[in-house]
Amino acid sequence: MKIHTARRTHGFTESVIRMMTRLSNEHGAINLSQGFPDFESPDTLKIGAARAIYDDVNQYAITWGAKRYRDALAARYHDWYGLDVDPEAHLTITCGATEAMMAVLLAIVDPGEEVIVFEPFYENYGPDTTLCDATPVFVPLTAEWRIDFDRLRAAFSDRTRAIIVNTPNNPTGRVFTRDELEKIAILCQEFDAYAITDEVYEHILYDGARHIPMATLPGMRDRTITISAASKTFAVTGWRMGTIVAHPELSDAIRKVHDFLTVGAAAPLQEGVATGLEMLPPSYYEGLADVYGAKRDLFYPALVEAGFHCRKPEGAYYVLADFSDLSDLPDDEFAFWLTRTVGVAPVPGSSFFHNPEDGRRLVRFAFCKTEALLEQAAERLVTVRARV
Ligand code: GLN
């Protein structure tokens, strides 16, 4: 029998991020590849979810999200950003931000339309656009990971349906400034395009920076689709709890796609997140900057000392590091070597670029790990120079 698979899958490779986790496990390395915490999630959420299972909240939730979760999230959006979110009309709960991005693109982009993606980019955005038969238009950030607005303007056209904006940014650690966001917003309005934001690191910003949701900028409320998740905020990446805030008519289309893709996110886990959103005080969210900031302040100098060139992350929990002074190997071989020989697993940089050559000198490290583990990783990385 001749096996047939759809053309849309032919360009896909296995997720490099998840492949590195497997390689790391095989070699017993310290896994700084896939961005997930190795420490405990808040008891409030765990107890909330466990109680929901015992209370038999075990059947389908409302397809666009349990009312309690939507109500609690809407209240927090108001506290955090002064955003008025109607839980009945604006909010959809999905299986992680991953499904959220897919459902949004399927709901708003027609085949052949263009979606602008900054580069380097989180590896899902390319396949996401391909799956809805859209054309990704990549706009490289500068060497400092800033936006080149001439290039950005040149990327917009009457075919542009949307731009994906991820701040705080994975993998660069950039936090786009208000000025940068405003310039993007002006282009969206001029070309009648949507901003689809990925704000999953919204509470992880350093040095006193505050997150600015695109939806709060003038003229952007109705043309922004705000995606976030519980994963990073509450260290529950395995729960797959994503959220979408969008104009009611957009939400209507998004909810239909979401319904047919998944029916809904796990009902008892939605109760768990709702419990967290209801009960955790503002200091919990404010404290995330200190928790992750301490990790950054331990790990970033260690990378510099080890001979990597990198920019200090302003937010999120990744560092994209240039290893040119340490090795001539291409990024994937260097990442494999580091995993096998040094015992620290990063992600090869090429997985964040559509042209792999652009990431050949880079690897990404995730530092959302206990300080003890990061110290151990630092001790290993400082030996790299002597080993190559
Ligand atoms: N967002 C995380 C990362 O970039 C997890 C990726 C994934 O496995 N979906 O590492």
Domain of 259, CATH number, reads: 3.40.640.10
- Rounded CA-CA distance 148/141 in Å is 6
Asked whether residue 353 is domain-assigned, the answer is: yes
Asked whether residue 1 is domain-assigned, the answer is: no
User: Considering only CA atoms, which residue is closest to atom 8 of ligand 1?
Assistant: 18
**To which residue do tokens 């900054």 refer?**
118
Q: How far, in Å, is the centroid of ligand 1 from the Cα of 55?
A: 32
Asked whether residue 2 is domain-assigned, the answer is: no
Note whether 144 and 224 are same-domain residues: yes
Note whether 120 and 194 are same-domain residues: yes
**Measured from the CB, is residue 238 less than 6 Å from ligand 1?**
no
Q: How far, in Å, is the centroid of ligand 1 from the Cα of 320?
A: 14
Count of domains forming the chain:
2
Q: Tell me which DSSP letter residue 224 carries.
A: E
User: Considering only CA atoms, which residue is closest to atom 2 of ligand 1?
Assistant: 35
Q: How far, in Å, is the centroid of ligand 1 from the Cα of 123?
A: 8
Domain containing residue 370: CATH number = 3.90.1150.10
User: Considering only CA atoms, which residue is closest to atom 4 of ligand 1?
Assistant: 35
Helix or strand run (H / E) with residue 30: strand 30-31
8 Å CB contact between 78 and 84: yes
Q: Tell me which DSSP letter residue 311 carries.
A: P
Asked whether residue 91 is domain-assigned, the answer is: yes
Note whether 22 and 114 are same-domain residues: no
Note whether 235 and 380 are same-domain residues: no
Note whether 209 and 92 are same-domain residues: yes
**Exposure string over 314-326, b if 16+ CB within 10 A, otherwise e:** bbbbbbbbbbeeb
User: Considering only CA atoms, which residue is closest to atom 5 of ligand 1?
Assistant: 35
Last residue in a domain, options 232, 264, 279? 279
User: Considering only CA atoms, which residue is closest to atom 3 of ligand 1?
Assistant: 35
Note whether 223 and 156 are same-domain residues: yes
**Measured from the CB, is residue 24 less than 6 Å from ligand 1?**
no
Q: Which atom of ligand 1 is nearest the CA belonging to 124?
A: 9
Predicted TM-score (pTM) of the model is 0.96
- 196, β-bridge pairs: 164, 225
Note whether 296 and 203 are same-domain residues: no
Note whether 26 and 93 are same-domain residues: no
Asked whether residue 194 is domain-assigned, the answer is: yes
Q: Could you read off the pLDDT tens digit of each residue along the chain, which spans 388 residues? A: 999 999 888 888 778 999 999 999 999 999 999 999 999 999 999 999 999 999 999 999 999 999 999 999 999 999 999 999 999 999 999 999 999 999 999 999 999 999 999 999 999 998 899 898 999 999 999 999 999 999 999 999 999 999 999 999 999 999 999 999 999 999 999 999 999 999 999 999 999 999 999 999 999 999 999 999 999 999 999 999 999 999 999 999 999 999 999 999 999 999 999 999 999 999 999 999 999 999 999 999 999 999 999 999 999 999 999 999 999 999 999 999 999 999 999 999 999 999 999 999 999 999 999 999 999 999 999 999 888 7
Note whether 298 and 216 are same-domain residues: no
**Measured from the CB, is residue 310 less than 6 Å from ligand 1?**
no
Note whether 79 and 210 are same-domain residues: yes
Q: Which range of residues forms the domain containing residue 181?
A: 43-279
Task: Please confirm whether the linkage preceding 356 is cis (ω < 30° from 0).
Answer: no
In terms of Cα–Cα distance, which of 80, 121, 311 is closest to 210? 80
Asked whether residue 213 is domain-assigned, the answer is: yes
**Measured from the CB, is residue 17 less than 6 Å from ligand 1?**
yes
Asked whether residue 303 is domain-assigned, the answer is: yes
Q: Which atom of ligand 1 is nearest the CA belonging to 33?
A: 10
**Measured from the CB, is residue 37 less than 6 Å from ligand 1?**
no
Paired sense of beta strands 347-348 and 160-166, if any: unpaired
Last residue in a domain, options 256, 279, 302? 279
Note whether 300 and 319 are same-domain residues: yes
Note whether 203 and 225 are same-domain residues: yes
Q: Which atom of ligand 1 is nearest the CA belonging to 123?
A: 4
Which of 24, 34, 128 is the best mutation target for the ligand 1 pocket, counting ligand atoms within 8 Å of the beta carbon and taking the most? 34
Q: Which atom of ligand 1 is nearest the CA belonging to 18?
A: 8
- Rounded CA-CA distance 242/200 in Å is 9
Asked whether residue 32 is domain-assigned, the answer is: yes
Last residue in a domain, options 279, 299, 331? 279
Q: Tell me which DSSP letter residue 210 carries.
A: -
